[in-house]
Amino acid sequence: MSALWVVVPAHQEAARIGATLDALAAQSDRDFTLVVVDNASDDGTAGIARDFAERAPFPVHVLHEPDKGVGCAVDTGFRYAIGRGASLLARTDADCLPHPGWTRAARAALGRGAGLVCGRIDARRDEHGPLGRAAFRGMVRVAAFFGRVRPAHRRRHGYLAPYRMHAGNNMAVTARLYEAVGGMPRRPSPTDRLFLNRVRRHTTAIVHARDMVVENSTRRLRAYGIVGTARWYLDRGPGHHGEDPR
């Protein structure tokens, strides 16, 4: 069985998860095991994943996580994989499209000694044209800059490595490091920054791999707007919006 396991948390993703699964099937490196964690969906998400398992070019496990929250689903999937021998873990989300070289880039970066690998995100091409994707990249750069200068992220708070923006829908981590830092916070989003800061307090072995690319859905941005999305990512809650724009 492969050392690399890919985990995809999914809540109410029947309309989108098929494209994500097809993108994983199109990877140039398909020597991995896939875990889809259905997070309390009632729209057929799990059934689509089970149907995919019958034709997938790699082993597929479909789990059910009743406690709603992406942190719960990711932690359940990662710990399930570790319990079955995974030493390398990667994650994307069920509304994202990993590029064909995604798993190869993740495996290579971890093989070179990284503990945590953060990839590059772009806006989905089927949601935006060139101008929309350029605007998205600009917002990501602004968010990354704010994270670096935010006082709470400075090294005097016990961090061993500088802050660099980390997207949970495009990450890879060793099983050893995942367990050492206590895993993903079992809570609703946002969890990515909390997990990154756990890692930053433990190791400097954090790298960014620009060839590890995922196209990201921007539906939260469309639902919340720029200010609402910023509020959500800063852990200030969704304001008058619901927790989930789907």
Q: What percent of the chain has pLDDT over 90?
A: 64
Per-residue pLDDT reduced to its tens digit, 99-120: 999 999 999 999 999 999 999 9
d(Cα 231, Cα 211) in Å, to the nearest integer?
29
Tell me, which fold does domain 4-233 have in CATH? Spore Coat Polysaccharide Biosynthesis Protein SpsA; Chain A (3.90.550)
C-beta pairs of 79-83 under 8 Å, 24+ apart in sequence: 79/183, 80/35, 81/5, 81/7, 81/33, 81/35, 81/175, 82/175, 82/178, 82/179
Distance CA 133, CA 138 (A): 9
Residue 11 pLDDT exceeds 50: yes
Give the position of tokens 């050392």. Answer: 3
Which sequence spans correspond to the domains of the chain? 4-233
CB contact at 8 A, 45 and 123: no
Summarize pLDDT for 136-190 with one digit per residue, the tens.
677 767 766 666 677 777 777 789 988 887 889 999 999 999 999 999 999 887 7
pLDDT tens figures, 195-232: 999 999 999 999 999 999 999 887 656 655 655 555 55
| pTM score | 0.87
Q: Cα dist. 125→26, 96, 130, 165 in Å?
A: 17, 11, 8, 22
> Position of tokens 């309390």?
40
Kind and range of the H or E element at 91?
strand 88-91
pLDDT, averaged across the chain = 87
Length in residues, the chain: 246
User: Which one, of 167, 49, 52, 173, lies nearest residue 106 by Cα?
Assistant: 173
- Tell me what percent of the chain is helix, strand and coil, each rounded to the nearest 5: 40, 20, 40
Specify the amino acid at residue 84.
Answer: R
Exposed e or buried b per residue across 212-230, where buried means at least 16 C-beta atoms within 10 angstroms of its C-beta:
bbbbbbbebbebbeeebbb
